[in-house]
Amino acid sequence: MKLFGYQLPAMSSLILWEIVGQLEFTFFLPPLSAKFVTLIEISTTSVFLQALAVTRYAFFVGTFSAIVIGIPVGILMGKSRLLDELLLPWVNMFLSAPLTALVPVLMVLFGFGMKSIIITTTLFAIWIIVLNSRAGVMQINRSLIEMARSFGASPKDAFFKIYLWAAPPEILGGVRIGFIRAVNGVIIGQLLISIVGFGALFELYSSNFLMKHFWAVLIVLFAIAFTIAEFLAHLERRVDYYAARR
């Protein structure tokens, strides 16, 4: 978008929306400036820092497991037709199933603690990572694999030296979306399973209608998620030339 010949930055229209927010149509959306003031107020309190620590732990353990399990499973699905036909319907179902309905099952199986929250986070993130890793592997040029085999690569060699290297654009894309989904997952887990971390803060602020505080916390979470997502998108662009070469 250009104005008077100047290129406007991508997210600059948010300023316009902030002005709309100042008109106060609804108490749900306090102006951004007020949110930031509140953000600075509460960000140093121990309640906030504690919530941050708890949520961060659940979030990173959850997404880490999703990545560590999801990528190899996806790669194996892309390699083996049998495994693919066995697993793909389930992966597709879980990708689109209403996962919140499964949270009560987790509570029964794993109790009301951190474990269930972490598993909820993993469940939100893992399926798209599996699917994208699978898609990445399936797009690998056949001749690349034949080349490796002609030079005597073992299946293990092929896995670590070809598949894992050739699929990064799609895998990174999956991880990026997985991260974004995990943010929702960790909050839903904290709201439903046990009221801890940022979930507890949301609960506290919303039951007292402290909208500025509520949005301040939401902004923090958005900022974290956005930073990670942008970082991964940056990595994705750096390996984009892969796609052209295949």
Binding-site ranges for another protein (CB under 8 A): 1, 8, 10-14, 16-17, 93, 95-105, 107-108, 180, 183-184, 186-188, 191-192, 198-199, 202-203, 206-207, 214, 217-219, 221-222, 225-226, 229
- Smallest gap from residue 162 Cβ to another protein (A): 22
Nearer to another protein, 59 or 163 (CB): 59
Residue 3: its H or E element:
strand 2-3
- Which of 116, 8, 106, 109 shows the shortest CA–CA distance to 61? 116
Q: 3-class SS at 229?
A: helix
- Smallest gap from residue 82 Cβ to another protein (A): 23
DSSP string, 163-190: IHHH-HHHHHHHHHHHHHHHHHHHHHHH
Residues 58, 117 contacting (CB under 8 angstroms): yes
32, 172, 210, 211, 217 from 206: Cα distances, Å:
18, 35, 6, 7, 11
Nearer to another protein, 154 or 208 (CB): 208
Nearer to another protein, 43 or 154 (CB): 43
- Smallest gap from residue 62 Cβ to another protein (A): 13
Nearer to another protein, 148 or 195 (CB): 195
- Smallest gap from residue 246 Cβ to another protein (A): 11
Query: Both tokens of residue 117?
Result: 């929250």
- Smallest gap from residue 147 Cβ to another protein (A): 22
How far is it, in rounded angstroms, from Cα 240 to Cα 234? 10
Nearer to another protein, 102 or 158 (CB): 102
